């Protein structure tokens, strides 16, 4: 992300934001907001004084109004006069976000924004980001190892490995499996055994595995419930399972999940 922001030189290629190289355009850098893992605030100043200080550095007009506005957007309007060092990690992260919003950015870069936060603080931060993106019509660039978080809030995803993009696209596109993963629950284990025997003779079935009365199968093309019923199988449940982003990640990188 530091290469994209123009803070580090790229070994090869180029990284453009809004069509420009940020390392060469001071004007374009004004259109970008950034929140790294460290909030970038002075611990012995109040939240409001911190924001006023940065607003002055950024030459933002009507500083008092703008500071009040961003405090409200991140839910800190009642904590603006608190010293930063008295805030929880989650509230400090929100205060850092308020600083990143001062310049009305068109693109907001977030680096591991919910790391070290408790589940409630993570949920609150995600909600704020989603609301901000919708309200401001702002692009949010999220850099994270938290794939569950990506799956919850991102519309487009890129998976990188050693500096190379291995896969990118909309969430729906990258979660589209190469095979159709189906779980079928039958009325009995005997029925499940019979199902596996029948399934493995069908050219559409890449694999089938029985676990008790449940059969997991991978299909090249759809195999419908009515076909299974026509075979005389007593089916209690049939569901198509979508791949999780974790599964896509490990499939793309060719790695197994390890403890």
Three-point CA angle 26, 28, 30, nearest 5°: 80
Same-domain check for residues 133 and 184: no
Structure tokens at 48: 């409001």
Q: pLDDT at position 61, please?
A: 92
What's the rounded Cα separation, in Å, for the pair 53 and 45? 10
Taking the alpha carbons of 20, 25, 31, 32 in that order, is the dihedral positive or negative? positive
Q: Give domain status of residue 132, yes or no.
A: yes
Is residue 250 predicted with pLDDT exceeding 80? yes
Query: What is the tens place of the pLDDT at every residue in 140-151?
Result: 999 999 998 998
For the ranges 15-24, 121-130, 142-151, the maximum mean pLDDT occurs at 121-130
> Residue with structure tokens 């978080």?
149
Q: pLDDT at position 124, please?
A: 95
Residue 229's CATH number: 3.30.70.2470
Three-point CA angle 250, 256, 258, nearest 5°: 115
Q: Give domain status of residue 233, yes or no.
A: yes
Strand partners, 185: 214, 237
Query: What is the tens place of the pLDDT at every residue in 149-165?
Result: 998 899 999 998 887 88
Q: pLDDT at position 89, please?
A: 95
pTM of the entire predicted model: 0.73
| C-beta separation of 82 from 46 below 8 A | yes
Same-domain check for residues 84 and 192: no
Q: Give domain status of residue 188, yes or no.
A: yes
Which DSSP category does 239 fall into? E
Same-domain check for residues 190 and 138: no
Q: Which domain holds residue 190?
A: 180-241
Q: Binning pLDDT at 50, 70 and 90, where does residue 59 land?
A: very high
Q: Binning pLDDT at 50, 70 and 90, where does residue 257 land?
A: very low
The CB-side HSE value for 9 (13 A sphere, CA atoms) comes to 1
Same-domain check for residues 63 and 125: yes
Residue 148's CATH number: 3.40.50.300
Mean pLDDT for the stretch of residues 71-81: 97
Q: Give domain status of residue 164, yes or no.
A: no
Same-domain check for residues 194 and 133: no
Q: Binning pLDDT at 50, 70 and 90, where does residue 118 land?
A: very high
Q: pLDDT at position 176, please?
A: 67
Q: Which of 164, 148, 99 is nearest to 248 (CA)?
A: 148
- Burial (CB count <10 Å: 0-12, 13-18, 19+), residue 184: buried
- Give the number of domains in the chain: 2
Cβ neighbours for 144, distance < 8 A, ≥ 6 positions apart: 110, 111, 112, 113, 114, 115, 150
Same-domain check for residues 107 and 35: yes
What's the rounded Cα separation, in Å, for the pair 12 and 163? 10
Is residue 205 predicted with pLDDT exceeding 70? yes
* End residue of a domain, out of 101, 120, 154: 154
Burial letters for 87-118: b for 16+ Cβ neighbours within 10 Å, e otherwise?
beebbbbbbbbbbbbbbebbbbbbbbbbeebe
């Amino acid at each position: 992300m530091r290469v994209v922001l123009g803070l580090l030189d790229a070994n090869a290629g180029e990284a453009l934001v809004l069509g420009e190289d940020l390392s060469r355009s001071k004007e374009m850098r004004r259109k970008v907001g950034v929140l790294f893992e460290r909030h970038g605030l002075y611990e012995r100043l109040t939240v409001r004084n911190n924001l006023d200080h940065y607003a002055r550095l950024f030459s933002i007009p009507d500083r008092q109004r703008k500071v009040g506005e961003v405090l409200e957007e991140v839910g800190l309007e009642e904590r603006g006069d608190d010293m930063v060092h008295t805030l929880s990690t989650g509230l400090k992260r929100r205060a850092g976000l308020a600083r990143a919003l001062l310049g009305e950015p068109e693109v907001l870069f977030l680096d591991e924004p919910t790391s070290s936060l408790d589940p409630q603080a993570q949920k609150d931060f995600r909600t704020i980001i989603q609301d901000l993106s919708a309200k401001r019509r702002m692009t949010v660039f999220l850099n994270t190892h938290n794939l569950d978080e990506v799956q919850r809030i991102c519309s487009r995803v890129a998976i990188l490995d050693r500096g190379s993009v291995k896969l990118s696209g909309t969430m729906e596109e990258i979660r589209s499996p190469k095979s159709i993963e189906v779980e079928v629950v039958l009325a009995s284990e005997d029925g499940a055994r019979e199902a596996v025997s029948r399934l493995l003779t069908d050219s559409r079935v890449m694999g089938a595995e029985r676990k008790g009365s449940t059969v997991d199968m991978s299909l090249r093309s759809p195999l419908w419930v009515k076909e299974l019923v026509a075979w005389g199988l007593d089916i209690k449940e049939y569901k198509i399972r979508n791949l999780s982003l974790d599964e896509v990640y490990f499939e793309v990188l060719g790695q197994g999940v390890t403890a």
